[in-house]
Amino acid sequence: MIADADDWRTRDLAVLWHPCTQMREHPHALPLLPVARGDGAWLVGFDGRRVLDGVSSWWTNLHGHAEPRIAAAIGRQAQTLEQVILAGCSHAPAVELAERLLALAPREAGRAPLAKVFYADNGSSGVEVALKMAFHWFHNRGVAGRTKFVALTGSYHGETLGALSVGDIPLYRRVYAPLLLESLFAPSPDAFGARDEAAAIACAERAADALAALFDAHAGEICAFILEPLLQCAGGMRMHHPAYLRRVRELCDAYGVFLIADEIAVGFGRTGTLFACEQAGIQPDLMCLSKGLTGGFLPLCAVLATQDIYDGFLDDSRERAFLHSHSYSGNPLACAAALASLDIFDADDVLARNRATAARMVALAAPFRTHPAVAEVRQLGMVVAIELHPEPDNREDGHAVEIAGRRGLRMYRAALDADVLLRPLGDVLYWMPPYCIDDAQLDLLAHATATALAEADRCA
Ligand SMILES: *Cc1c(COP(=O)(O)O)cnc(C)c1O
């Protein structure tokens, strides 16, 4: 039993090692937020205090915390089949979810559709799956030397060693550099600072030209190019024009390189369409889905692949098979949660409702454009990013690290004092709320942001 918030903090710090945290900062610099339960967009403390989840609990939550329809689906599934080995066995939720994801996946005229689903149990593992599949496919073809992956500067694909190898956030990566694969990095098409669409397209074209040059210089060495379509999230909520994705698709085809779309954070409506690739009209060869896949209830990852990739592993030899597995691959509870989440998209017409919510977010964020500390306000679907001018004395590679530097901490605390959980990514304050957020909650979000910006001003 947890008696009260202080008791809770003491017991927590006695036994827990928190993710992505310098534990020295707890509890003084960085207060721990005790959460007793969730209710829609609210996190509710032991004392009944309500804090708005402005970051959808690390971008996982879609329809609200403790959403009753998803909770009920998990409960029903738990009483039917909680888990079964997915090698050699099959179960209804895994099959139904695969059918539905493939039917919803981005389509491109004249290209064979994504046709198979491989389950992993979290985003990083799914990225590992996609990278290994791409490499192994060439290996099975007898093609030697296609051992390199290409990723974008400012990219983030997870924390396991393979996923970290294709990531480009120095503070997360640097220490482990001696252990990592040698990936190639192409410049991000990031349109930060672009005045209008023409300027954003120019960024996209320049970056695509650089990618072409990289592909050319390493022809025959590259097996896959991985990117976060339209929105580099952990890299600072940086956005790019869909024109880049169209060029990428052409270049990957021209150089025989697999295109891996990491839609782990942007999938399931976050950018306005169900999947970000749709906005460019392109279809990847491999697509990774996680985070919002289960509505934010349970860890699960689905890697969608083309028939061609799948066929490359069919053989009499087991060595040519994809012998990758996770104990909980395709867990029935997680698949049931994902099916219930997809049902909610239909029942509540979530994408249409989000268009109205996103318009309101844009209107509420507009006044921040003229704030002296703010360099840019940008928006894509259900994401608003308010980028501040760099903090002069921040030596922490803080541009893309959560709650970095003195200013990051002060903004985090100011927002929390105003009852909103915001985790600034270095210089970027962003909104990524659950889709169920209502008008009053949006007003609170804007108010807390104004408070945090006032605090940022005081640091300057
Ligand atoms: C969060 C994230 C991952 C890693 O997912 P985990 O479930 O945290 O391992 C990979 N790619 C992107 C784009 C992400 O945002």
User: Percentage of the chain surpassing pLDDT 90?
Assistant: 91
278 lines ligand 1 (CB under 6 A): no
298 lines ligand 1 (CB under 6 A): no
CA of 180 to the centre of ligand 1 (A): 18
139 annotated as belonging to a binding site for a ligand: no
First to last CA, the chain: 44
User: Which pTM value belongs to this model?
Assistant: 0.97
Architecture of domain 1-66+350-458: Alpha-Beta Complex (3.90)
Give start-end residues of each CATH 3.90.1150.10 domain in the chain. Answer: 1-66+350-458
pLDDT interval class at 405 (50, 70, 90): confident
Residue range 236-246: average pLDDT? 98
pLDDT value at residue 1: 47
Contact assessment for residue 158 and residue 124, using Cβ atoms and an 8 Å cutoff: yes
136 lines ligand 1 (CB under 6 A): no
Helix (H) or strand (E) holding 56: helix 56-59
Contact assessment for residue 311 and residue 262, using Cβ atoms and an 8 Å cutoff: no
CA of 167 to the centre of ligand 1 (A): 11
Say yes or no to pLDDT of 459 above 80. no
CA of 122 to the centre of ligand 1 (A): 8
Closest-CA residue to 49 (of 10, 12, 4, 2) = 4
267 lines ligand 1 (CB under 6 A): no
Among 58, 124, 164, which is best to mutate for testing ligand 1, by the most ligand atoms less than 8 A from CB? Answer: 124
What does the buried/exposed string (b/e) look like for 243-274 if buried means 16 or more CB atoms within 10 Å of the residue's CB? bbbebbbebbeebebbbbbbbbbbbbbbbbbb
pLDDT value at residue 399: 62
CA of 401 to the centre of ligand 1 (A): 15
128 lines ligand 1 (CB under 6 A): no
Mean pLDDT of the chain: 95
Contacts of 146 (CB under 8 A, 6+ apart): 135, 138, 139, 220, 221, 222, 223
Q: Which two tokens stand for residue 134?
A: 């791409």
CA of 253 to the centre of ligand 1 (A): 26
Give start-end residues of each CATH 3.40.640.10 domain in the chain. Answer: 74-347
Q: What dotted CATH number matches 74-347?
A: 3.40.640.10
pLDDT digits (tens, 9 = 90+) for 413-431: 999 999 999 999 999 999 9
Q: Is the dihedral of CA 314, 320, 326, 327 positive or negative?
A: positive
228 lines ligand 1 (CB under 6 A): yes
Say yes or no to pLDDT of 406 above 90. no
Contact assessment for residue 39 and residue 430, using Cβ atoms and an 8 Å cutoff: no
124 annotated as belonging to a binding site for a ligand: yes
User: Percentage of the chain surpassing pLDDT 70?
Assistant: 97
pLDDT value at residue 7: 84
